[in-house]
Structure 1
């Protein structure tokens, strides 16, 4: 089982083992209290991953629109899973979400594959922040619920 902490235009990532912790917590605390703590943990770790991505995509920066339009949505329960999406705002002035995949994966021009500056930067940023994000979620759950006894 897993918790999605990133589900944006280019990369989808899950942290394994969080569901087991949540089930153990729900057996000791009310579901409302656990949900509140879970949302807080997801929100904080989502912001951490977003900031990590922002720091790593500076390589594409020309106008700064790609960095400015990066957003982290508030956590929501979808199909029984708490998710916090991180991606690019489609309502922004420059609508960078249309170009992010080109910077992340490259593109073809005249039959030749072009690797722009910063290829794979988002993937590297997300993978580099996963362990800390999972630890952060656990720490926040522990602080919010007053210690884990499971």
Structure 2
């Protein structure tokens, strides 16, 4: 489902004129960081249900905001650490032929769905605080 918003370009140009490009990017980055933090908290809560050693929870990492190939500012939540949990996250999320329904199946998807409203609210608050 997509939504077409009219006048968005005009609004963005007006904000850039009022605050400057760098200030708008700083506000955007702060919103992305807050939104990612909200998502990570929900993700950690979902991972608690099948926690073994806790390595998957400990290795959740948030990148710094960067420009994506599509030209949008984005932030990445990924796994990085000494235990290399990034290798098995996909297997936990989707299962395997031998174990099609692991205990953590769908945890990332549930976290995305559960955190969606809180994520949007965190971004809105950061933007509202930034433009005041």
Normalising by the smaller structure, the TM-score range is: 0.7 to 0.9
Task: Select the residue among 18, 28, 35 that pairs with 1:45.
Answer: 35
Poorly superposed stretches of 4+, deviation over 3 Å: none
Query: Which residue in 2 is equivalent to 1:86?
Result: 77
Of 32-41 and 53-62, deviating more is 53-62
RMSD, aligned CA: 2.2
Alignment gaps of 5+ in structure 1: 3-15
The residue matched to 1:87 in structure 2 has which SS?
Answer: strand
Please, which runs of 5 or more residues in structure 2 have no aligned partner?
none
TM-score by length of 2: 0.85
Work out which of the residue numbers 56, 60, 65 in structure 2 matches 1:70.
60
8 A contact 1:60–1:103 mirrored in 2: no
Q: Mean Cα displacement is larger for which, 97-106 or 70-79? A: 70-79
Give yes or no for contact 2:36–2:75 (8 Å, CA) kept in 1.
Answer: yes
Return the offset for 1:27.
4.4
Paired position in structure 2 for 1:10? none
Instruction: Give 3-state SS (helix, strand or coil) of 1:108's partner.
Output: coil
* Pick aligned residue for 1:107 from 96, 101, 109: 96
Normalized per residue, which structure has more strand? 1
Q: How many equivalent pairs are there?
A: 125
